[in-house]
């Protein structure tokens, strides 16, 4: 079983060049953006805004430290300068932040994400992206900042996916629960949608119950 202590989590995040403050500030700023949405916006605007802005704010903050950013295939990734790993924020379902419960991506993902997930942790020789990234972009292990709003409280964890079953990312090599300060109320459900992948052929909305 993974170590659950706060010290261990901070140490593991530091090994990846992340901090709790990075994720807290990015999610908090994204929440402020959502509060600016009104009933005159598109129905999916709040969910898409929260997803997009969280990734944007992480990218902007880490750009000051030399990290890269890509929106290829509508997968928003912030990439470590060493190309050792990347991070992307996605909405999640299940026991987010609770290692005793299963967790998965809330919304379906396509073959682009499947390729990234199933290559996580594997080593690859330099290829077509060598000029920009020093290695194939899809070969860079990509961590997921999983978030879920539950009863006006944001749950989050940083996890490394290794497999998709069907269209959902639901198997993880490592999960790091994040104890985030209170972000305040959003007032609406922003879990409904993050974004369709570029190769999905359109937005697909799946409604289903997920046991804890």
Q: Which two tokens stand for residue 151?
A: 């009863």
Q: Inform me whether the pLDDT recorded for 186 exceeds 60.
A: yes
Q: With respect to residue 202, please indicate whether it lies within any of the assigned structural domains.
A: no
What is the per-residue burial (b if ≥16 Cβ within 10 Å, else e) of 53-75?
A: bbbbbbbebbeeeebbbbeebbb
pTM: predicted TM-score of the whole model, two decimal places: 0.81
Residue length of the chain: 212
Domain coverage including residue 156: 6-178
- Each residue of 133-179: pLDDT tens digit? 555 677 789 999 999 988 778 899 999 999 888 888 989 999 999 98
Taking 3-state DSSP, the helix, strand and coil percentages for the chain, each rounded to the nearest 5, stand at 30, 25, 45
Q: How do 103-105 and 153-165 pair as beta strands?
A: unpaired
208 in a structural domain: no
165: in domain: yes
Residue 45, domain member (yes or no): yes
CB 133 within 8 Å of CB 80: no
Dist. CA 114–CA 75, nearest whole Å: 11
Distance CA 65, CA 166 (A): 36
Encode pLDDT of 39-48 as tens digits.
999 988 888 9
How far is residue 202 from each of residues 168, 170, 173, measured CA to CA in Å? 16, 22, 30
Query: Residue 180: pLDDT band by 50, 70, 90 thresholds?
Result: confident
Q: How many domains does the chain have?
A: 1
Evaluate whether residue 56 is within a structural domain.
Answer: yes
């Amino acid at each position: 079983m993974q170590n659950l202590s706060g010290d261990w989590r901070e140490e593991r995040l530091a090994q990846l060049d992340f901090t709790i403050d990075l994720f807290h500030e990015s999610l908090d700023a994204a929440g402020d953006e959502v509060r600016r949405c009104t009933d005159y916006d598109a129905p999916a605007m709040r969910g898409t805004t929260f997803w997009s802005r969280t990734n944007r704010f992480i990218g902007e903050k880490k750009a000051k430290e030399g990290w890269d950013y890509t929106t290829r295939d509508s997968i928003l990734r912030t990439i470590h300068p060493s190309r050792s790993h990347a991070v992307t924020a996605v909405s999640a379902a299940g026991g987010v932040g609770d290692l005793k419960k299963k967790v998965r991506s809330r919304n379906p993902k396509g073959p682009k994400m499947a390729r990234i997930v199933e290559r996580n942790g594997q080593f690859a020789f330099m290829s077509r992206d060598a000029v920009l990234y020093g290695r194939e972009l899809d070969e860079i292990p990509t961590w997921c900042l999983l978030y879920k709003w539950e009863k006006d409280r944001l749950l989050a964890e940083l996890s490394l996916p290794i497999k998709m079953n069907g269209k959902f990312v639901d198997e993880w090599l490592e999960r790091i629960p994040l104890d985030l300060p209170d972000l305040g109320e959003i007032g609406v459900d922003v879990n409904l949608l993050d974004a369709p992948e570029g190769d999905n052929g359109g937005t697909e909305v799946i409604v289903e119950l997920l046991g804890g």
